[in-house]
Amino acid sequence: MLEAIRKHTQGVLAKVILALITIPFALWGIDSYLDQSGSGAAIATVDGQDITVQQYGNALQNLRNQLQAEGRVDPALLERPEVKQSVLDRLVTTRLLRNEAEKSNFRISDDQLAKYIIGLPEFQNDGQFSQELYDQILAQNRLTPSQFENSMRADLLLQQVRDSLATLAYAPEQLARHAIGIERQQREVSVAEIRTADFLSQVSVSPEEIQAYYDKHKDKFRVPEQVKLEFVMMSANTLIADMQVSEDEAKEFYQTNAAKFQGDEQRRASHILFGFGVSPTPQAKQEARKKAEQVLAEVKKNPDAFEELAKKHSQDPGSAARGGDLGVFGRGAMVKPFEDAVFSMRPGAISDLVESEFGYHIIKLTEIEGQGQSYESVKPQIRAELMYQKALAKFSEQAEDFSNMVYEQSGSLKPAAEAFKLQVQTSDWLSHEDGAKFFKNDRLMDMVFSNEVLQERRNTEAIEVAPNTLMAARVVDHKPAASRPFEEVKEGIEDFLKLEKATQLAVKKGEAILADLKQGKTASELEWIPPVTVDRGNAQGLTDQVMSNIFRINTEKLPAYAGVTDGNKGYLLMKVSQVIGGLEGEGADPESAKREFEAALAAEYEAAYVESIKNGSDISINTQLMNAANQ
């Protein structure tokens, strides 16, 4: 349980991952990604239901936006594999919990849902729910009321499941204080080592012992079956150098992907909106435009009156009261016509009428923060990306022909090498394990050691050994498995047996010294390291082995001692000379300790519950697709 408390409460990374544990009851939750984010290739499948690459990407971007907006973490932290894995794990968990909620007949009534939505601050105007603001915000996010309400209902169902688990997390105050006190305890520690190396000169090994060890453990000296291979690899990367990209292609890519090259540039703008409604008639659009043109003339005549005119005429309830101010935003935050206009303006400029799906806008650019990337500065990057895209396309065209050729002309790799301008390469001796590590592909080596390839000396099939990389191999030489001869290994056996005997002497001496220390005797030959004060989260340079044992020592009487064998290195003696904090230590407030302990307990209950669901569910993760999505 103490490990659970540390896992759930410490470290910046833990806090990021913790953000994924709570359903974000805002305008949209994690669960909404499972319903509203569109289709695509499945990055995971849960009991036959797909979680797509797009859904995963949206969830990851939502977390990134949320944490960066709050300034809570370094953006680079969000690129760490464990954070990305946590995002996918949370989507899988959400899917599992939603299915369980349905199976268990959890229900959210229409009245419960209505009360919750009415209470959301996003839809409040002067402390009251605003239907107009509700419709406006949903339209801006391209959600129908039905889609949004279904998403909120699903989120609330999940919260019901979590709340029911949290009610089980009860702990008496005394138990909570005891656990949290131990968790926060510090210990002053010193370590001494009885080294195996100091006893090597005292031991000897006879030839008979060496021979006996070899005879008994011949399997340890067995060299596995090995092969030498010829192989060819066809990769999209090798095609890049032959790809050509024109200036027009590069410029078009830059314009189409402007948001990608935004850098840290953000803009602040105000607008006056003249709405014409959903599916407007020509007459409605004409009336809105006429009104917009009249106000635009006033703005052009007197730009300083923009705020007052926005308060008076704008039909955007979210910004009108602020003089049309929309705050600071980057690319991708607004609809495209609006964004294109804003990012083409200079500070202080006022646009002509800009038409979007919401109506006609008069826009004023008030501020530019940060700096975008100019075309010239990113042209090399764009050219490289376009060359790679063309290489991928070329690879896709050639992959089937390559596969067919190595299969149809299975007696040699040269025809495929010549046809596709590839180099036939040769490996050193490789076992199955060595080859799987070298080529990072078990399937290839399974094929290499099959009878068809090994005995008949045919080409393997073309195997995808890495994304967009195909490889075919053939065996050119073969060694069967055999034991290494005694003369070749006897020196290594002698060294090993000496080390083993010396370790036994070190442990024997260490245990004797430990017994004396526990009886209050001294050991002048020990060299204790200078004492350090450690807690469970701060090792102060001590090894994991010491840290895993130091808080197990009974400290009723100080100094307290313990010892542990350190593999073949020797024996470690540990001394605790002082205990700081503890059950009644500073910061062990009864109520906060109880809350902290019960929160950790609830998290463990939820983790155990989710694990039990996973064990009974059919879950598959497309690791290759996830890696590609991350890239």
Is there a domain that residue 511 lies in? yes
Q: Identify whether residues 570 and 604 lie together within a single domain.
A: no
Burial string for 375-387 (b: 16+ CB within 10 Å, else e) reads eeebbeebbebbb
Query: What CATH number has the domain bearing residue 312?
Result: 3.10.50.40
Three-state helix/strand/coil letters over 88-119: HHHHHHHHHHHHHHHHCCCCCCHHHHHHHHHH
Check whether residue 530 and residue 417 sit in a common domain: no
Q: Is residue 527 part of a domain?
A: yes
Which 3 state secondary structure label does DSSP give 603? helix
pLDDT at 584: 47
Say yes or no: 78 and 113 in one domain: yes
Amino acid making up residue 281: T
Flag whether 384 is in a domain.
no
- Please indicate, yes or no, if residue 250 is contained in any of the structural domains: no
DSSP labels for 333-387? SS-HHHHHHHTTPPTT-B---EEETTEEEEEEEEEEES----HHHHHHHHHHHHH
- Domain carrying residue 194: 186-202+486-580
Q: Is residue 311 part of a domain?
A: yes
- Long-range interactions of 66-73: CB distance < 8 A, separation 24+: 66/19, 66/24, 67/16, 67/19, 72/15, 72/16, 73/12, 73/15, 73/16
Tokens, residue 242: 């032959």
Whether 20 and 137 map to the same domain: the answer is yes
State the chain's maximal CA–CA distance in angstroms.
107
Are residue 332 and residue 417 in the same domain, yes or no? no
**Same domain for 143 and 106:** yes
Asked if residue 64 is part of any domain, the answer here is: yes
C-alpha distances in angstroms, 366 versus 297, 324, 343, 565? 19, 11, 12, 69
Report DSSP letters for 487-505, one per residue.
HHHHHHHHHHHHHHHHHHH
Whether residue 7 is found in the same domain as residue 129:
yes
Structure tokens at 41: 């290739």
Say what the pLDDT of residue 423 is: 93
Q: What is the CATH number of the domain that holds 404?
A: 3.10.50
Mark whether 400 and 511 lie in a shared domain.
no
Q: Are residues 124 and 191 in the same domain?
A: no
Looking at residue 214, what is its pLDDT? 92
473 in the same domain as 433? yes
Judge if pTM exceeds 0.85: no
Same domain, 123 and 196: no
Total of domains in the chain: 4
pLDDT at residue 255 in the model: 74
| Residue finishing a domain among 372, 401, 431 | 372
Domain boundary, last residue among 480, 504, 539: 480
Q: Is there a single domain that holds both residue 499 and residue 473?
A: no
Residue ranges for the chain with pLDDT beneath 70: 1-40, 68-78, 165-179, 258-264, 370-374, 582-594, 624-631
The two three-digit tokens of residue 236, written as one number: 């999209």
